[in-house]
Every structure is written in C-alpha cells, then in structure tokens.
Structure 1
Amino acid sequence: MALDLTALRAHFPSLATGLAYFDGPGGTQTPRPVADAIAATLTGPLSNRGTVSPSELNAERAVADFRAAYADLLHMPAGGIVHGRSATQLTYDFSRHLAKGWTAGDEIVLSRLDHDANVRPWVQAAERAGVTVRWIEIDAETTELDLDSYERSLSPRTRLVAVTAASNVLGTKPPVRALADRAHAVGALVYVDGVHYAAHHLVDVPALGADLFVCSPYKFLGPHCGVLAAAPGLLETLRPDKLLPSPDTVPERFEFGTLPYEILAGATAAVDFLAAMDAGTTGTTGATATEASRRERLTRSMNSLHDHELTLRTRLQEGLDALGDALTLHSKAPDRTPTVLMTLEGRDAREAQAHLATRGVLAPAGSFYAYEPFTALKLTDPALRVGLAPYNTADDVDRLLDGLTAFL
C-alpha cells in the first residue's frame, strides 16, 4: 500500500504553518503521539525506578518499553539497547570504552564519508592511546567510498573500523556488510553510524554486520536522544568508568545517571508511529496490522516509506537536472538516500536558503558537521542540502523547485 499522506500529515501540528520542510537530515518534525507520550510520562505519576509504587513502576515500564521498541526497530536483543543523550555522546563514550583495550601500534580505520561525530571521537581516542588512524577515501567522481583504499588500510593490527551506513550530506550508502566482513576477517570490530540511514530504511543490525550501531530518534520523528545497539555479550566485555553504586548489569552500566523516562517514552512512541504509517496487511502472513508483530508492521511501513521517498526523489532529481549548469549536484552515488547536496554557480547557498524561506520552503545551507566529505571533495561551504521526510509531498517538491528557479 502507499502511505496515506493526508492522514499521516494530520498528526504533525507544525505542518499547519504551511512550511515545506526539507531539513529532515538535521531532524524531523514531531507527530502529536510522540509529544503526548512525553507529556503523559512526565506528568506522572513518576519517580525513580522501583517495584513498590505506581510512580516507580511507570519509570520501570518506560525503560522496558524503550528497549523493546528499539530491539524491534534494529532487530537486536532488548538487553543490547543503550540510551544516550545523543549519537555523538554515545560515540564519545564508546570510543573511550573500546580504547581501553588498544595499545601503541594498533590501528583503526575511519571513513572520509562520515559525519564528524563518527570521526573525531575515534581520532582523539587514537591519539591518547598511540594508535594509528588509517582512512577509507572517497571517489570524487561517484561520491562512493574507494574500496581499494579500504583494502590497503586493513591489517592484522586493525582493531576497529568506523563507517557510516549513509552520508548525512551526500546520501551515499556504502556497502556496509562487505566492509564489515573484511574487517571481521582481520579481527576488527565494526562501529556503524546509522543516524541518517535509520531515517530511511528498516535497520537490521546483524544483517549489516555491525558490532555496534548508533542512531538518533529525532531523525525519525522522535525526541532528541541517541540509541546504541550491540550484542549483550559484546557489551559484557566492556568496562566503562562509572559510579560505584550504579548498576553493573548490561546495558545499564553504560547509562550514567537517572534516565529521562519521558524521553524514553517519546522515543518508543516514535517507533510505534513508524510501525503504524502503513496499516495494511503484511505481505508474508496476511495478518492485520493489529495482529502482526511490531517488526512486521515496521517492515511494511518502511517499505512503503521507501517507495514514497523514491518517487519524490525522482521528481526532485528531474527538476534539478532541468536547471542545468546553474547548480552542481554533489549527490552522485547510485545507492543513496533521498538527500541531495548542491552548490549554486556564483551564488551563496545562504542567500538561496533565505530566498526559499520567503516562499515557505525550509532548505538549510551549511556543511552540516561533514568536515571530512567537504574537505576530501573540495566542496564549497556553505552548500544547500535538501532532504526528504515521510511527511513531504509532491507539492512540497514543486514549491522547492519553483523557488530555486526564481532564485537562479
């Protein structure tokens, strides 16, 4: 089934502004059910976790429901789901946890395609440990990773490969499973930044070959926080610095301080909202949406979302191509998300952003923390980024194209 956009958009109060939002890669708009879940949890009864009072049980339920929801979303055990303030914070934390096992002479492999949140924490941890950093370069013609450079970067001393599942500025989706298989062949762990990827594809962490996978619910309709998924057995091998009385069980040993139960409830509601976007029957079981498992419903919804976004991306691409040499499109990889980065011939992208805003179109300009891609590809800062989200429509795309045409 196709997404019912009218019904879906009715859940987003912010769409009443009339704006066409193309800033999804930086964070999506929030549906009412997510806000309601946050408010209902926050207004209680609520207290610290326990088993005696209703307020304690509500806190326990918020944590358990969160882990179960992200286990379904990421296809991982609930005991391997770690909450964090952001993906950046989680990556910094785990860079320190993992670096405890590194010694001088070890090596790690990073990608020029990545957001700085999956680069700088590892670079800094490597510097402290005396570990060598090697790089997977970008092919400037295709904006894909240069796999030959990856092969050259691996060695028996490789301890970690950190790579994105999808670039937040170019949309490029590397062959993560193939990269992971080669990393595992030399005994390295694989840390995957799935922040942009999880907004557009149903995630299967084991199928990707990721040992650790991080994402951000606010990129897919939820509140601001981060989620890390790993096998509980792997987490058991990591010993973070922590307060003595705090839990030492997995995954709690990685969650410092009292958890924000209301944010957990909102993040859970975002997964349930995604699962309900396509209320049709599943293709495999014939069960109704209420009878199907949440994973089955997520699969159907995300498949429908992919079809929707691909249709809009094609419409967007054709319209941008028609503008000719007035702009340069830097998103070239055949396998990519519905995100397009462009620069405008002789024009400042910030001026284009301001012009589009006068027409009720939000398309941000900047470098978006993508320091390595911008440097490697010699991209002009700022560039204009256009990203699609579930609530975007064909009319939104046409308004964007009309605005760009008028500006150019």
Structure 2
Amino acid sequence: MTGDAALDVTRLRAHYPALGDGRAWLDGAAGTQVPESVIEAVASTMRAGVANQGGVFPAARRADALVDAARRAFAAFAGAPDPDGVILGPTATALLARLAAALEPTWGPGDEIVVTEADHEADVAPWARAAARAGATLRTARLRADGALPTDAVTALIGPRTRLVAVTAASNLTGARVDVAAVAAAARAVGALSVVDGVHHAAYTPVDVCALGADLYATSAHKWAGPHVAALVAADPAVVAAIDPPRPAGAPASGPARFEQGTNPFPALAGVVAAVEHWAGMLPGGDDPHAGQRAAAAHTAALGSRLWAGLGELAHVRRYGPDGGPDVRTPVAAFRVVGWTPSDTVAALDAAGVNAWAGYAYAWGAAGALGVRDDGGLVRLSPNHYSRAWEVDRALDVVSDLAHRAR
C-alpha cells in the first residue's frame, strides 16, 4: 500500500462515534476525537486490570508490556529507529519542563539558549526559566510580519556557545511551518541539542524524526486520534542516555524510564497503541502508519486550501499567517472578522453547529508579534483527517454572513 491512495473519509468517520452529532468538528488543533478501537483499548485495559510495573503477577506484567508497546508505537508513528529513545509523559508541556530541569545544571554563564516567537509557551517558558537560573543567555528568533519564521532568523542566533535550540515544526496558532531540518543541522554543527515541538505538526504531516534531524521531538497522541498522553522521541537513544534527569531515590537509573516520574497511565498507553494501529489501517489493507499519515496529509491539505482561499475572498476577514500551500502552512486557518471579537465569532460558529476556538493557543510570542495578544487573539479553524468539505463550507457560510449581522 502506498501513500498515493486516497483516504476514504466516509469509511474512516464510521469509526468515530463522537462525529455522529451533525456538527462541523473544526477544532482538531486543540485535540482530535478518537476511534472506537482506541476507546475499547482503554476500556479493556481497565477491565482486565493492571498494577504498577515491576511485579511478578499478571497485572504487573501487563503494565510492563503496555509501556513497552507504547514506546514501540510512538517510535513507529514518529519514524524513530529505537523505542529506547522514547520518553513517556502526561503531556508535551510536562515533558519539556522535565527536560529543562534535567539540562539546566549543565548550563552556565556564557552559554546561549535559542527559542523562537513561533512556539507554544511549553517550548519557550521552561527554557527561559532554566536559562535565567543557570545564568545563560536567552536568544529569541523573531517572526516576520506575516507570521512566518524564516530559517535564518533562527540559524543566525546559533553560535559556538549555543547549548540548545528549541523550535516548533509548525505553529499551533497560524499553522506556519518551519524548516526544522535546516535549524537542526545548524544546531548539530555547533554541538547544540535541538528540541522540536511537533505536537501540532504530527497531526498533519508524515513524521520522520531522522529526516528532520531533530535530537528530540515532542508529540502528543491527543492531536492524532489518541488519548491524552505524550512522548519525547529521540532519533538516537544515545541522546536520551546522555541526559541525567533529577529523580526520586530508587527510581530507574538508566533508559527512558529515568524521566518518567510516578506511575504511567497504563490505559492511555494502550490507547496510544490502538491509535497507531488505527493509522496503520487507515487505508484498506494497509499496515503502515506513515501511509495513513500521507493519505491524511493530502486530504487535510485540500480542505485547508479550500478554507484559506474561502476566507481570503471575504473582504471583512483578515487572515493571519503566511500565504501558501501545504509546504508553507498546515490546514489551520487563523483569522479575525472586522467588527467582531474572536469570542463573538466562535459563539456565532457554535450556534451554527461549528466547533472552533478563539484566543492565542498558548502561542504567546506569536500572538504578541502579530498584535493580537491583548484583545482576544484569533479565531482558529482546523480541518482534520476525518473532516469533510461540507464542514469547511458551513464555517465559511457563517463567517461570510457575519458581514451582514449586528452583534
């Protein structure tokens, strides 16, 4: 099965019980719905019973097996060669904060940490706090006026004292993509660690951490039809082995488990395995999650282009983010309606049966650079792998009609 096969969205949607309510689910950038197989995997794990890891009895052995299977699933989804490079955690935000705490003691005055205005605060604030405590210098790459992050805006800040470069693969506010491979290569050339926030990126793009060149790639399954559980995925397990995180006495002293404080969410991990299997079977007869990713990417790119172009035809709408095709932006559309606050706009969309978000989506730097941080942020619509054209058209009809309606 190749990635050239078209996605059968009608067949796909039949697996998602939440989608039967007739609403337009254009809110996937904040989290997707889950198929029945994921729901059943979570429920059946609870029914069978699990205990903490490390025991000799069946429930404990099931927990060990679930953790191993989840590592393999995340590795398969992200194109990583070895599950020993997969660190599990409750959210990408928590994992990045944990990583910052582990790296902070290795930095000192004169060292430099590079972050960007494009990123979710989860990939900015932990590094800023850690740099300040360590006496290191924080350097911030700035956005262009259209919301894009030029590669040289990041690479120009990377030098011999750079210790870490944190960058998003795609903005979760505007969808603007970043040339991660070029940034990671520049970081590697000076011996710096590259940490990529791929939480938004993975929902719309076939992921290959080795091709990206990222040392660590953050992804969260709730953005791609799984439960709320996340991972840091390394292209090379040696990167994980070289970091010594703070941990309680008696905690594992080697491997990715050193980072995983407390008991793992075993039912959610079972759901991750089921989610990756769902992607592998997204095309009839398929067994490769990347084939599913490629087919979904083509489908969402077409919907995203339809949405972006439709908004561009409305004189009372201002779009935010770079103009261009799927190589420039994900299918997310961020915009404002003249005379309408973002919150009032999403209320009108909700009344017409469209799920949408308003705000700055924790992209604090991007919202500031775009001038929308302090007055309501932006409206964000995001088609997903299970979305259909009528959902996009319904949203466009609502937004078009706002030009003629009083608030």
Which bracket does the TM-score occupy, shorter chain normalised? Answer: over 0.9
Task: Identify which range, 7-16 or 187-196, moves more after superposition.
Answer: 7-16
**Counterpart for residue 269 of structure 1:** 274
Deviation at residue 318 of structure 1 after TM alignment? 2.6
For 1:372, give the aligned amino acid. G
- RMSD, matched Cα: 1.4
> Any residues of structure 2 matched to 1:52-71 within 5 Å, and which?
52-71=56-75
For 1:201 and 1:147, locate their aligned partners in 2 and report how far apart those are by CA, in whole Å. Answer: 19
CA–CA distance in structure 1, aligned partners of residues 193 and 358 of structure 2? 35
Task: Mark the runs of 5 or more structure 2 residues left unpaired by the alignment.
Answer: none
1:144 and 1:333 in contact (8 A); partners too: no
Residue range with higher mean Cα deviation, 236-245 or 165-174:
236-245
Per-residue deviation, residues 351-379 of structure 1 (Å, max 9, x unmatched): 11111111111111111111100111213
CA 1:206–1:70: 2 relative to 1, 3 Å: same
Q: Which among 197, 200, 205 is matched to residue 201 of structure 1? A: 205
1:362 maps to 2:355? yes
Partner SS for 2:156: helix
| Preserved contact between residue 151 and residue 179 of structure 2 (Cα < 8 Å) | no
Where do 5+ consecutive residues of structure 1 fail to align?
281-288
Contact (CA 8 Å) 2:343, 2:376: kept in 1 or not? no
Stretches of 4+ moved more than 4 A in 1?
Answer: none
TM-score by length of 1: 0.93
Supply the AA of the counterpart residue of 2:387: N
Structure 2 length-normalised TM: 0.93
Whole-angstrom distance in 2 between the partners of 1:346 and 1:404: 12
Candidates 38, 41, 58, aligned match of 2:42: 38
Which residue, out of 82, 90, 100, partners 2:105?
A: 100
Cα distance 1:197–1:5, how it changes in 2: closer, same or farther (>3 A)?
Answer: same
Q: Count residues in correspondence.
A: 392
Q: Equivalent residue of 2:65, what SS?
A: helix
* Candidates 291, 299, 308, aligned match of 2:290: 299
Displacement of 1:333:
4.5
Equivalent residue for 2:242, pick from 234, 237, 259: 237
1:305-362 Cα distance to aligned partner (Å, 9 max, x none)? 11111221222123212212x0100122431100010011121111111111111111
Amino acid at match of 2:308: Q
Match among 393, 396, 400 for residue 391 of structure 2: 396
Contact 1:45–1:54 (8 Å) recurs in 2: no
SS at match of 1:100: helix
Structure 1 residue 51: Cα displacement = 6.3
**1:260 is aligned to 2:265:** yes
Partners in 2 of 1:8 and 1:149 — Cα distance?
Answer: 40
Does the CA-based 8 Å contact 2:151-2:182 persist in structure 1?
Answer: no
Q: Which amino acid aligns with 2:377?
A: P
Task: Give the Cα separation in 2 of the matches to 1:151 and 1:218.
Answer: 31
Q: Which amino acid aligns with 1:394?
A: A
> 1:340, 1:385 within 8 Å by CA — same for their partners in 2?
yes
| Selected match of 1:352 from 335, 345, 354 | 345
Flag the 1:333–1:121 CA change in 2: closer, same or farther, 3 A: farther
- For residues 116 and 100 of structure 1, the distance between their equivalents in structure 2, rounded to whole angstroms, comes to 21
1:318 pairs with 2:309: yes
Name the counterpart of 2:336: 343
Whichever residue aligns with residue 375 of structure 1, its letter is G
Q: Is the 8 A contact 1:136 1:147 kept in 2?
A: no
Match of 2:179 in 1: 175
Percent identical residues: 39
Does residue 165 (structure 1) correspond to residue 143 (structure 2)? The answer is no
Conserved 8 A contact 1:114-1:164: yes
- Give the alignment of 1:89-128 within 5 angstroms: 89-128=94-133
SS of equivalent residue, structure 2 residue 48: coil
Alpha-carbon distance in structure 1 between the residues aligned to 2:387 and 2:358:
19
